[in-house]
A and B are shown apart, each in its own frame.
Chain A
Amino acid sequence: MKFSNAKTALSAIAFSLVLAAPTSAKALDWPQIEAQAKGQTVYFNAWGGGEAINAYIAWAAKEVQARYGVTVQHVKITDAAEVVKRVQTEMAAGRTTDGSVDLMWVNGENFRNLKSNGLLYGPWAEALPSWGLVDLKKPVRSDFSVPTEGFEAPWGTAQLTFIANKAVTPVPPRSAAELLTFAKANPGRVSYPKPPDFHGTTFLKQLLLNLTPAPALLQQPVTPQAFASATPALWAYLDQLHPSLWRAGIAFPASAAAMHRMLADGELKMSLTFNPNEAANLIASRQLPSSAYSFGWTQGTIGNVHFVAIPANARAKAGAQVFANFLLSAPAQAHKADTRVWGDGSVLDVSKLPPDLQALMRNKAPGALTESVPTLAEPHASWVEALETEWLKRYGAR
């Protein structure tokens, strides 16, 4: 009797241990992951169009090499859609275990593309040790209204910011209507990057949010009817705007970086970026005159969180997770938020950080965005492709 009781007790304990295993196994697995990661090479596919960003990634790679023995190679890309293609092609060709991409910087419609086609490894993001520091009040679990479900880890925050030159434009336009007036007063000196460049697309979304009669529709997946009712105001606005633009709207700058260059020389009077501290970086690296400053729109500008994700066929999944964990860690996030380095907003809860790191994140360099601009939520990811296709159809070729 005693024995059978003991047996039941033992099996009960064993069963509860098994039940408990997943949660404590997560905590246990991390050292295993670190051990696996040692010696691996992680190919991190990330946008290479910003020198401050490239320098930060190089710093992070060096740190991770020193601390965990993981080699990180920054593969510079111009558009995350390229990486989506590569992963898609590889998976379609049956290459399911040794893909060429281990970790990618991604968000929005590219993430949606990957996730809905089952091309992502996961879930893994919420099992990272650094997850505990993340500020859950920020939209870190929903990417352009698509739930992340742990398939991507947050990396930083971004907010659409405009840059101008105080010597030339002391009072900037702060809404779509003001922009139209400004463009007409300064013909040939305003423009935006050509979609599907993501800065250009975001500018379109910004205008749409400012002009559309039905903003709520934008948070839902796009349908032909929703598109037809929400966007006419945008196209009418653009039809009015384009003749006053640079090169009369027949040609557009290829990227935001090209626009920064044109702003520096005075060819354009305005540029835009996702990083509120980009102007400060550019002034420091002598790409913009010291009279450049950042500003936002009165009603707010689009803000989002950007992430890193692991493709399903990644070769170095453990190494990728270790690197992602480092990127999410307090020292890395603080270094990233330091405006002397990159100035990209952190996804961590600042109150959970030690004071010296908090101080780093409060540095403001000249040229950075000093005013507080409300953040507008991104439309649903499916709107991106619809907007880009329609824009290309209307203005893509002249």
Chain B
Amino acid sequence: MAHAERHPLGATLALALVGLVFVPLLPGLLWAMGPSLSASVWQALLTDPQFAQALLATLVSSLFGTLLACLMAAGLATRLYPSPAWQRLQQRLPLLLSVPHAAFAVGLFFLIAPSGWLARATGYFLSWASPPEWVTVQDPYGLSLALALAFKESWFLLWVLAGVLGEQAVARQMAVARSLGYSAAQTWRLVLWPQVAPRLGWPVAAAFAYSLSVVDMALILGPGNPPTLAVLTWHWLSDPDARLQTQGGAASMVLLALFSVSAALAYSGWRAWVQRRAYPTGQRLPAVQRPWPWQAPVLGVGYAALGALVVWSVAQSWFFPALWPDAVTWDNWRYADAAPFWTTLWLALAVSLLCLPVVLIWLEWGPKQLNAVLYAPLILPALPLVAAQYAVLLHLRLDASLLALVWSHLLWVLPYMLLTLVGAYRAFDARLMTSARALGCSQLQACLRVKWPLLLRPLLLAWAVGFAVSVAQYLPTLFAGGGRFATVTTEAVALSAGGSRQVLAVQALLQVLLPLAAFALAFSLVRLRSRNRQGLR
């Protein structure tokens, strides 16, 4: 894959473009968190009455959520791979993956709240007149938040697993191990998991980092009194009082520390377990039949949440304990506020279309060793990064401008696009490029006329992923946009606090429809272009 000659201009351009997105963060981090380095701030933080409980809620929701997600994904993979059910699961995942976090949280809220669908269904049989006193949402330890995170992240981990297990070598390893007399369950335990688990390391880290710093889901499902540490940090960072702002900066550092410590502990735990691995005893255990259908609830909850959103969006009035709306109406859609939709659309288009060439230039000419730096926003908690961005924008007096908004989204869209594209890019046969150049093209021309057109499918997929990531962004839109720009995500979160559930459902569904539309567009473009070109599919 290495190009015979170095391309200094290309490398400089790649570094400059990526640098525009990443480098300003460094002074930003200093400005945002520098003032928090004094002992008095830390003392104030640790003695704040809300801090301890908020920290506990964060730890419970993120640790429990990520652990449960791992168990669900692992359980499903062990149970279903490599049967047709696993293939069907793989086909159903993209729909659920493209559902943004906030929309899923709203849907889950509609399901499990004391006046939600589940309670109404139960109340139907038990003749309840008023909602039960369940503490199913906004519970003080963040368990409902953990549940939502678990489901959402399990789909993501399943998708990663599907990619890893789809490799032929893995399938054949299963055949080989079983031919040696081991049952499928033993093969998983002794052969597959030890090899596959390390490859899940980064995705699990990313999921954990997200759950530590999530604000939109925590506002919808998490505790309120006090909220999780991420929400508390966000409140402090946005407070008029400068003292509380520095306290917020210190709390961001606590989130970072939580992540680093947990990651370090997990890694050393893994290494210790690997060291203690016993010499194979050759013991073959009989196959165990586990009869219960694992896959139903893991995906089913996602569909139920979407269903709840759809029903609420066409409901006229729907009070407890009615199982179905009193009447169905299109008024909610007809009179929906379209402004957030259009804002989200143009923003996501601008960000994803800007990002695509940057990623391509980086993959083609950028130094590959620095890829790790570009992946950093994926596995670091978002709050410190957003605070840094905001500090930079304030200094440059650019906050609340369109430019600021687009720039802030790039920080998260770029790594996801890179991640989606890097596999296909590296797997690209270098001899095609060499042939093109032997025919007289420069490297740039060869890219434009040969390489990038051939990579159409991964390219469009990466674009759709970038689009979806931009639609789902919450904190960057709030901070960099100065609250001026309402996207469907910010609208949904704001409405979840109170007000019309019908309007909330419409905005949440719009949040779901946008990424779906992007993926549909990408796939139909691929199909269009590859009508006479099978090799592009």
Partner of B240, one of A43, A88, A93: A88
Q: List B contacts of A253 (CB < 8 A).
A: 224, 498
How many angstroms from the CA of A275 to the CA of B482 in the assembled complex? 28
Tell yes or no: B317 within 8 A of A by CB: yes
Tell yes or no: A287 within 8 A of B by CB: yes
| Contact across chains for B226 and A89 when beta carbons are under 8 A apart | no
| Contact across chains for A267 and B131 when beta carbons are under 8 A apart | yes
How many angstroms from the CA of A260 to the CA of B497 in the assembled complex? 11
Contact with B along A64-85 (1 / 0, CB 8 A): 0000000001011110011011
| Contact across chains for A264 and B53 when beta carbons are under 8 A apart | no
Q: List B contacts of A262 (CB < 8 A).
A: 115
Beyond A251-B138, A251-B224, A396-B50, is A286–B499 a contact (Cβ under 8 Å)?
no
Tell yes or no: A50 within 8 A of B by CB: yes
Tell yes or no: B333 within 8 A of A by CB: no
Beyond A251-B225, A267-B115, A396-B225, is A49–B499 a contact (Cβ under 8 Å)?
yes
How many angstroms from the CA of A396 to the CA of B53 in the assembled complex? 10
Q: List B contacts of A251 (CB < 8 A).
A: 135, 138, 140, 223-225
Shortest distance between the CB of B223 and any CB in chain A (Å): 7
Tell yes or no: B384 within 8 A of A by CB: no
Q: List A contacts of B135 (CB < 8 A).
A: 247, 251
| Contact across chains for B484 and A194 when beta carbons are under 8 A apart | no
Tell yes or no: B451 within 8 A of A by CB: no
Shortest distance between the CB of B124 and any CB in chain A (Å): 14
| Contact across chains for A286 and B483 when beta carbons are under 8 A apart | no
Tell yes or no: A258 within 8 A of B by CB: yes
Tell yes or no: B500 within 8 A of A by CB: yes
Tell yes or no: A255 within 8 A of B by CB: yes
Tell yes or no: B86 within 8 A of A by CB: no
| Contact across chains for A258 and B497 when beta carbons are under 8 A apart | yes
Tell yes or no: B78 within 8 A of A by CB: no
Tell yes or no: A137 within 8 A of B by CB: no
Tell yes or no: B454 within 8 A of A by CB: no
Shortest distance between the CB of B294 and any CB in chain A (Å): 33
Tell yes or no: A95 within 8 A of B by CB: yes
Q: List B contacts of A396 (CB < 8 A).
A: 49-50, 225-226
How many angstroms from the CA of A231 to the CA of B140 in the assembled complex? 28
Partner of A398, one of B115, B225, B502: B225
| Contact across chains for B497 and A255 when beta carbons are under 8 A apart | yes
Tell yes or no: A250 within 8 A of B by CB: yes
Q: List A contacts of B138 (CB < 8 A).
A: 251
Shortest distance between the CB of A392 and any CB in chain B (Å): 7
Tell yes or no: B130 within 8 A of A by CB: yes
| Contact across chains for B224 and A194 when beta carbons are under 8 A apart | yes
Shortest distance between the CB of B90 and any CB in chain A (Å): 39
CB-CB nearest in chain A for B240:
A85
Tell yes or no: B42 within 8 A of A by CB: no
Tell yes or no: B424 within 8 A of A by CB: no
| Contact across chains for A289 and B497 when beta carbons are under 8 A apart | no
Interface residues of A in 252-287 (CB under 8 A from B): 252-262, 264-267, 285-287
| Contact across chains for B240 and A265 when beta carbons are under 8 A apart | no
Partner of A257, one of B114, B238, B498: B498
Shortest distance between the CB of A291 and any CB in chain B (Å): 11
| Contact across chains for B500 and A287 when beta carbons are under 8 A apart | yes
Tell yes or no: A173 within 8 A of B by CB: no
Partner of B131, one of A51, A88, A265: A265
Contact with A along B317-349 (1 / 0, CB 8 A): 101100000000000000000000000000000
Shortest distance between the CB of B123 and any CB in chain A (Å): 10
Contact with B along A215-259 (1 / 0, CB 8 A): 000000000000000000000000000000001001111111111
Partner of B130, one of A78, A113, A267, A286: A267
Tell yes or no: B360 within 8 A of A by CB: no
Beyond A73-B484, A266-B320, A286-B316, is A50–B397 a contact (Cβ under 8 Å)?
no
CB-CB nearest in chain A for B116:
A265
Shortest distance between the CB of A91 and any CB in chain B (Å): 12
How many angstroms from the CA of A211 to the CA of B54 in the assembled complex? 33
CB-CB nearest in chain B for A290:
B317
How many angstroms from the CA of A88 to the CA of B54 in the assembled complex? 28
CB-CB nearest in chain A for B114:
A267
Interface residues of B in 499-520 (CB under 8 A from A): 499-503
CB-CB nearest in chain B for A85:
B240
How many angstroms from the CA of A50 to the CA of B497 in the assembled complex? 11
Shortest distance between the CB of B454 and any CB in chain A (Å): 46
Q: List B contacts of A51 (CB < 8 A).
A: 499-500, 503
Partner of B483, one of A82, A88, A98: A82
Interface residues of A in 97-135 (CB under 8 A from B): 98, 100, 113
Tell yes or no: A20 within 8 A of B by CB: no
Q: List A contacts of B133 (CB < 8 A).
A: 188, 247
| Contact across chains for A261 and B501 when beta carbons are under 8 A apart | yes
Interface residues of B in 151-195 (CB under 8 A from A): none
Shortest distance between the CB of A310 and any CB in chain B (Å): 18
Tell yes or no: B304 within 8 A of A by CB: no
Tell yes or no: B429 within 8 A of A by CB: no
| Contact across chains for B115 and A397 when beta carbons are under 8 A apart | no
Partner of A392, one of B49, B482, B486, B502: B49
How many angstroms from the CA of A247 to the CA of B223 in the assembled complex? 12
Tell yes or no: B419 within 8 A of A by CB: no
Interface residues of B in 467-502 (CB under 8 A from A): 482-484, 486, 494, 497-502
Measuring CB to CB, which residues of chain A are less than 8 angstroms from any residue of chain B?
Answer: 43, 45, 48-51, 73, 75-78, 81-82, 84-86, 88-89, 93, 95, 98, 100, 113, 168, 188-189, 194, 247, 250-262, 264-267, 285-287, 289, 392-393, 396-398
23 residue pairs A–B, Cβ–Cβ below 8 Å: A49-B494, A75-B483, A77-B483, A85-B238, A85-B241, A88-B240, A168-B130, A251-B138, A252-B224, A253-B224, A254-B498, A255-B497, A257-B498, A257-B499, A258-B497, A261-B499, A262-B115, A265-B130, A267-B320, A396-B49, A396-B225, A397-B49, A397-B50
Closest 9 CB pairs of A and B: A257-B498, A85-B240, A266-B130, A265-B115, A265-B320, A286-B317, A258-B498, A267-B131, A397-B49
